[in-house]
Amino acid sequence: MPTNRQLYRFPGDSGASSAPQTRPSNAAGAGASFVMKCGGSTLAALPEAFFADLAELQQSGVRPVIVHGGGPAISGNLEKLGIETEFVNGLRRTTEDVLDVVEMVLAGTINKSIVRRIQSAGGKALGLSGSDGSLIQAEPVPNADEVGLVGDVVRVEADIVAGILGMGYMPVIAPLGVDAAGQRYNINADTAAGAVASFIGAERMIVVTDVPGILKTVDGVKTALPSVTFAEIEEMIESGEIYGGMIPKVRAAMKCIHGDVREVVIVDGGEPRVLTRLLSGEAIGTAIRR
């Protein structure tokens, strides 16, 4: 990712300091923002109470930005259409035929479903794709010969996000990218969310999953770690405790932690009022910090 990227700080964002036994809180200040990433498998299972919590935060002055996935729905539609698909190190190998389905599902069905659920809960949301307004600008990943039309983010147009937030809406972003020639790219949702957080200058990215955090075997029991460092993540990848789709998730988290982005927190979306509790400073889930 280029070092001369634009970092956008929203008016009213604050740099609250950490307190012992809690995490930095930005929920109290109007105008505070965070980026939330939610995977496709998690979305379908999230209770209505989660969206009510999200809407209440927005009404209190917090400004969430959502980047979502949709893997299971994409796989289901590809199967119905008889289009083969496979994964390479957690990334879907993407041909033009696969990309047509990815765009249809992510920018269409999934994106609009999230918008409707937020609005039904009393929030205000506006859905868009990363290719709209060249919001997410991309280039081929280094191993494009293996995975096809999968992209790395080179720039996010922060002013578009700021404009949507300024109108009082929650941006709901489908992780597709585009280059200067108009070529579309399938972008891993974790990668896209990390880039959005970095370019808009959000202090925190929240990854909503169906697990309580990064799990490590302690005395024979899988236990959610309260926090992990970069070095510990590398050790867990090497040992195989972090594997498959979790690898791009934590790699994206590490890549976006610089500048204004101080931490990425992985939480279970099924926890009652998980967003409010986290933003209020409760230590919940696993925090990734440099």
The catalytic residues are: 37, 40, 71, 190, 249
| Contact of 205 with 193, CB cutoff 8 Å | yes
- The one-letter code for the residue type at 184 is R
| Contact of 157 with 164, CB cutoff 8 Å | no
- The one-letter code for the residue type at 94 is T
For the record, the structure tokens of 162 come out as 């700021």
- DSSP H or E run through 222: strand 221-224
Give the 3-state secondary structure of residue 122.
coil
Angle at 253 between CA 13 and CA 174, to 5 degrees: 80
Entry field: residues in the chain: 290
C-alpha separations of 81 from 91, 98, 104, 109, 163 in Å:
20, 10, 13, 16, 38
Q: Which residues pair with 128 in a beta bridge?
A: 173
Distance of alpha carbon 112 from alpha carbon 274, whole angstroms? 23
Residues 6+ apart with CB under 8 A from 215: 222, 223, 224, 225, 241
Distance of alpha carbon 164 from alpha carbon 85, whole angstroms? 35
Give the 3-state secondary structure of residue 82.
coil
- DSSP H or E run through 197: helix 189-200
- The one-letter code for the residue type at 30 is A
